[in-house]
């Protein structure tokens, strides 16, 4: 029997997770929820998803009825029929849903990166913490930036032990559909304090990096991707080729060359469009090959993260781990990647 999955919060992350679940042969979408009867709600129904109202309230249900969008009921009408909920609600609301809905109804739940590490049992990345999250009830799939860092640090750590990592993150200001956020004409240190929260977030997945990783971040006026520059001190003897080989061997990382036209995040997104990817998603972490450099025992590289899609395959593997559907993380990764067409 395929695992029954409810997506609570059909926004940027939620709709992508719904489509990714639909692509797997061992899980199915039992329903998706919306708070408002907008075009996304209408499209969800047109795609064949059963739609439920996220807020259990008669007035809310009436809004959908008045808009002519059919709903099957509220979240409370479906919550106990599912094996797991993937929460895609905005930052901080995931925690409220955990306390008010998932825990009282004893349903396993995955929260997203906008929530706090301390509010869940553990923090998920398919390469690092699959085994730890196996069979657990409440897990957070870490943010897009943390997922990207976890993948490249995994590759580097497979070449030589990491002693110290310094990372500068250049963050996109808003998602392409977001008409409320900025800046439109500024570079904003965010957070202005150093270190930023991204280092501790990596440590929530990889506790052995405690005290070794330090990050700082700025926000810039772009919507397409985040960009990171990594400087990583390691122990051991290795060459640039060894590092590139490790990057190429690590699942869900691709390398691109500026020399071939990948001169910016804009060009990487164009590649996603040309590949015909749904919503031009690039689920892979993208490393610029020319940026990979080794100076004595220090590794440098630059990478790009498609914020809306990098965490989607992680949610799928997290479902398999929490429901104990596959013991081996690499088998789950391979299965997810194959179904989603990830390189």
| Helix or strand run (H / E) with residue 13 | helix 12-22
Is residue 307 marked as binding? yes
* Orientation angle between helical segments 312-322 and 329-340, nearest 10 degrees: 140
CB atoms closer than 10 angstroms to residue 298: 14
* 93 and 111 Cβ atoms separated by less than 8 Å: no
Residue 204 interacts with ligand NAD (CB under 6 A): yes or no: no
130-159 positions binding ligand NAD, by CB under 6 A: 143-144
* Residues whose CB falls within 8 Å of the CB of residue 337, separated by 6 or more in sequence, listed in order: 251, 252, 313, 343
Instruction: Determine the Cα–Cα distance for residues 208 and 39; give it in Å rounded to an integer.
Output: 45
The answer to whether the annotation marks 197 as part of a ligand binding site is no
Q: Nearer to ligand NAD by C-beta: 152 or 159?
A: 152
11 forms part of the interface with ligand NAD (CB under 6 A): yes
| Angstrom distance (rounded) from CA 39 to CA 41 | 5
Which stretch in 21-29, 64-72, 110-118, 154-162 sits in contact with ligand NAD by CB under 6 A? 110-118
**Interaction between residue 10 and ligand NAD (CB under 6 A):** yes
144 in catalytic set: yes
Question: Does residue 239 have a known ligand-binding role?
Answer: no
Residue 234 pairs in a beta bridge with 162
97 binds ligand NAD (CB under 6 A): yes
Residue (164 or 197) nearer to ligand NAD, CB: 197
Q: Which of residues 207-246 bind ligand NAD (CB under 6 A)?
A: none
Write the burial class of residue 299 (CB in 10 Å: 0-12 exposed, 13-18 middle, 19+ buried): buried
Backbone φ and ψ of 184, nearest 5°? -100, -15
Asked whether residue 145 is marked as a ligand-binding residue, the answer is yes
Please tell me whether 12 is known to bind a ligand: yes
Residue ranges for the known binding site are 12-13, 114, 143-145, 172, 198-199, 307
Q: Which residues bind ligand NAD (CB under 6 A)?
A: 8-14, 33-36, 54, 88-91, 93-94, 97, 112-115, 143-144, 175, 307-308, 311
- List residues with catalytic annotation: 144
């Amino acid at each position: 029997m395929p695992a029954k999955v409810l997506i609570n919060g059909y926004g940027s992350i939620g709709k992508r997770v719904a489509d990714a679940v639909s692509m797997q042969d061992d899980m199915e979408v039992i329903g998706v929820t919306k708070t408002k009867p907008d075009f996304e709600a209408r499209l969800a129904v047109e795609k064949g998803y059963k739609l439920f109202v996220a807020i259990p309230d008669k007035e809310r249900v009436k809004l959908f009825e008045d808009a002519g969008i059919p709903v099957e009921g509220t979240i409370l009408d479906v919550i106990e029929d599912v094996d797991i909920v993937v929460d895609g609600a905005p930052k901080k609301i995931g925690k409220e849903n955990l306390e008010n809905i998932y825990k009282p109804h004893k349903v396993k739940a995955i929260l997203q990166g906008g929530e706090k590490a301390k509010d869940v049992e553990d923090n998920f990345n398919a390469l690092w913490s699959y085994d730890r999250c196996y069979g657990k009830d409440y897990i957070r799939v870490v943010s897009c930036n943390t997922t990207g860092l976890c993948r490249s640090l995994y590759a580097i750590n497979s070449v030589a032990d990491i002693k110290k990592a310094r990372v500068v993150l250049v963050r996109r200001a808003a998602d392409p559909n977001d008409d409320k956020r900025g800046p439109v004409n500024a570079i904003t240190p965010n957070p202005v304090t150093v270190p930023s929260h991204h280092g501790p977030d990596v440590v929530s997945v990889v506790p052995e990096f405690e005290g070794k990783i330090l990050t700082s971040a700025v926000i810039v006026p772009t919507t397409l991707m985040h960009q990171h520059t990594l400087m990583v001190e390691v122990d051991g003897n290795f060459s640039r080729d060894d590092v590139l080989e490790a990057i190429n061997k690590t699942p869900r990382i691709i390398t691109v060359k500026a020399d071939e036209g990948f001169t910016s995040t804009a060009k990487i997104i164009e590649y996603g469009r040309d590949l015909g990817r749904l919503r031009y998603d690039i689920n892979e972490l993208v490393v610029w090959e020319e940026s990979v450099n080794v100076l004595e025992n220090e590794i440098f590289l630059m990478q790009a993260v498609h914020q809306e899609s990098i965490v989607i395959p992680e949610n799928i593997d997290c479902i398999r781990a929490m429901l104990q559907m596959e013991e081996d993380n690499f088998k789950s990764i391979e299965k997810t990647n194959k179904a989603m067409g990830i390189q």
